[in-house]
């Protein structure tokens, strides 16, 4: 039971605060994400509604061009250290960052379309 009127996450019906289950579909007032997704998909399929597919964050993360991004992130401080660095260790570290940036660029393969 919730202290407020609640919307069913499976069928979106509004239910009284005292209701422990949805009056339309019987779904409990409290559920895990996986229970909600499974019940919502089953309800929408029975009702003939199009399925709502949650975005696949893993697939989205795979589409991000991480190596070019890393190259820029490494190149900027590396170039700065090479340009204005005083002392051998600063210049050496700048050179290392630029070399890592070059490695990122050379390792990057554009995903197939």
Kindly list the residues in this chain that would bind Zn ion in the complex (CB under 5 A).
8, 10-11, 13, 22, 24-25, 27
Residue 99 to residue 87: CA distance in whole angstroms: 18
CB of 34 to Zn ion, least distance (A): 16
Cβ nearer to Zn ion, comparing 10 with 101: 10
CB of 15 to Zn ion, least distance (A): 7
CB of 8 to Zn ion, least distance (A): 3
Residue 45 to residue 99: CA distance in whole angstroms: 54
Identify the DSSP state of 21: B
Cβ nearer to Zn ion, comparing 8 with 81: 8
Q: Which residues, in sequence order, are bridge partners of residue 21?
A: 28
Cβ nearer to Zn ion, comparing 27 with 94: 27
From residue 98, how far is each of 75, 77, 91 by CA, in Å?
5, 8, 10
């Amino acid at each position: 039971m919730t202290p407020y009127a609640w919307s069913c996450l499976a069928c979106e019906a509004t239910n009284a605060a005292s209701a422990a289950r949805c009056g339309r579909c019987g779904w409990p007032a409290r559920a895990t994400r996986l229970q909600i997704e499974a019940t919502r998909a089953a309800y929408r399929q029975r009702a003939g509604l199009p399925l709502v597919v949650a975005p696949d964050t893993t697939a989205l993360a795979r589409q991000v061009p991480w190596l070019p991004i890393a190259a820029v992130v490494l190149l900027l401080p590396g170039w700065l250290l090479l340009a204005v660095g005083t002392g051998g260790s600063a210049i050496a570290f700048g050179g290392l960052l630029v070399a890592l940036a070059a490695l990122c660029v050379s390792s990057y393969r554009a995903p197939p379309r």
